[in-house]
Amino acid sequence: MTLLQRFLPLLAQLSDYGREKLRGDLSAGLTVGVMLIPQGMAYALIAGLSPIYGLYASLVPLVVYALFGTSRQLAVGPVAMVSLLVAAAVAPMADGNTELYVGLALLLSLMVGVLQFGLGVARFGFLVNFLSHPVLSGFTSAAAFIIGLSQLKHLLGIDLPRSNFIHEILWAAATQLGEVHGLTLLLGLGSILVLVGLRRWAPSVPGALVAVGATTVIVWALGLAQQGVAIVGSVPSGLPSPSLPPLDWGSVQQLAPSAFAIGLVGFMESIAVAKVYASRHRYEVDANQELIGLGLANIAGAFFSAYPTTGGFSRTAVNDEAGAKTNLAAIFSAGIIALTLLFLTPLFYYLPKAVLAAIIMVAVAGLVDWEEARYLWKVDRRDFGLMALTFVATLALGIEQGILVGVIVSLIVVIYESSTPHTALMGRLPDTETYRNLKRNPDAMTRSHIVIVRMDANLYFANVSTFQDLILDLDVNDPALRAIVVDMYPVNQIDSTATHTLQEIIETCRRNGVELYLAGVKGPVKDVLDAAGLSEELGEERFFLEVHDAADAAEARVDEEAERAKSEKPVSS
């Protein structure tokens, strides 16, 4: 791959392009483009923006990611999760000022893009590892409830205050049940039935577009707008003009935590789905290049009226099923959006907002991860607890606070697990030279006066106390204990703190007449022990490649000392 192809992955994808790939990309591009029209408009409502901004966010970012992204199936654009985070960040600052609201949303897009691009250039793609799957699953499931309930006002046709707390939304709705607009509710529920029915029995049919088209015609033909049904109204036509997002240092400081959360969550959502389809089609995605691609997409989008975007689960699945082979499919999708903006926006005048709310509710219903909760309950209760904690924290404390709690607890778990690695007392399996954990292999044989131990981790400052406790808990003061064999094979690295601790262990064992042997010491670890002088102090004869050889040597030494002590014992007359 040339340097230019590495910088512009689309060029590498097109190096062997043919008619079959073009057919697949064209089919996928048209399908996703049609899907994006109602979806983008609906997601803009979640972000607190006019529906037109959903179409703007489905234009330039798609083209830019197509040039710089490494996933061939990922469908970038507005998504429910990021839209909710945008609303949570911007609404408190805008205080009802529509122009300020739009400006802050575009500034946020620029900040997210700069952050993602910077992390990609700095090769910080590994940061995604600190947001564990249970945390993301718990956050996504809670956010799905918040997103779905945030659309109640459009579904019921009543005015509800904006809130990120479901109890506030439900209470406000309950106090206004008598004001529910019947026609609006009927349109919304009917749209939900159409969306669910088509997804189940005719998945190839674009349900959102069918619902949008049918209800728009019904509202226009029956004059339902005059009877109180809320409609989208005038949608500006034409492509977005380039403009500089409003740059204000005070706003940048206030939006910084939200930009970090959106950048991290957006990248996590994107890279997770990208890896699934890369594995399915047997190619690699580069996490750092993905950050660069998403970052440039958001930066460019900010100059063309697009709020933050990322790769979406549902559209990517549709993109793949429709035959997408390269990122050219995304450019075709952007073409559909461009044609819509140029010629079709007047058709959306009578589009009822209740239908957009129905599209959102059906879409986010699949984000509640019941299956993952059941799986974690069965497989790993600790991860289930982490998922549940993030879920509850997001509902109780808010969107950004919820994911922050999840990340902090994840880091605490990582630190705890790192400082308390698995340890084992080992015995030899019958008729073999293989040594295994005595707890899991009760039939394993042990040797008198010799104990064999293992710690499954590198030795460094955070876990040396666990290693020291492993040795000293054997009670080196016990006269019956004559030798300790440490299986060092799991240790790939050792730091200076660990060498000091090992020095103390050697001295403690020597004072109590206990021989210490090390087995399976790897080259880099041996180099550190040599430099620290521990190899010389312990004695090169105490190092062995295999545990069995070390145990035999220890046994021979114990027997030799026993014979010597026996021969030196005075004979009574």
DSSP code for 177: G
| Complete domains list, the chain, with CATH | 18-365 (no CATH), 423-564 (3.30.750.24)
- Rounded CA-CA distance 356/230 in Å is 11
Task: Give the burial string for 546-570 (b: 16+ CB within 10 Å, else e).
Answer: ebbebbbbbbebbeeeeeeeeeeee
Residue 459 phi, psi dihedral angles, 5° rounding: -100, 115
DSSP code for 343: I
Question: What stretches of 202-327 show up as alpha helix (H) in DSSP?
Answer: 207-222, 249-281, 287-302, 313-321
pLDDT in tens, the chain (573 residues): 677 778 888 888 888 888 888 998 998 899 889 888 998 999 999 999 999 999 999 999 999 999 999 999 999 999 988 998 999 999 999 988 999 999 999 999 999 999 999 999 998 877 766 667 788 788 878 888 888 888 898 899 998 887 778 888 889 889 998 899 999 999 999 999 998 998 889 887 878 888 889 999 999 999 999 999 999 888 889 999 999 999 889 999 999 999 998 998 889 888 878 887 888 888 888 889 999 999 999 999 999 999 999 998 778 888 888 888 999 999 999 999 999 999 999 998 999 999 988 888 887 787 788 888 999 999 998 899 989 998 999 888 877 788 788 878 888 888 888 899 999 999 999 989 899 999 999 888 888 789 999 999 999 999 999 999 888 888 766 777 889 999 999 999 999 999 999 999 999 888 888 899 999 999 999 999 999 999 999 999 999 999 999 999 998 888 787 777 777 666 554
Q: Both tokens of residue 345?
A: 């926006």
- Rounded CA-CA distance 144/368 in Å is 6
Question: What stretches of 420-546 show up as alpha helix (H) in DSSP?
Answer: 464-472, 496-511, 523-531, 534-538
The sheet with strand 435-437 has its strands ordered as: 435-437, 423-428, 450-455, 483-487, 515-519, 543-544
User: In terms of residues, how long is the chain?
Assistant: 573
Give the strand pairing for 450-455 and 483-487: parallel
**Three-state SS at 284:** coil
- Rounded CA-CA distance 202/196 in Å is 10
- Rounded CA-CA distance 19/350 in Å is 40
Q: What is the torsion angle, in degrees rounded to the nearest 10, for the CA atoms of residue 103, residue 108, residue 114 and residue 116?
A: -150
Largest separation between any pair of C-alpha atoms in the chain: 124
Residue 71 phi, psi dihedral angles, 5° rounding: -85, 135
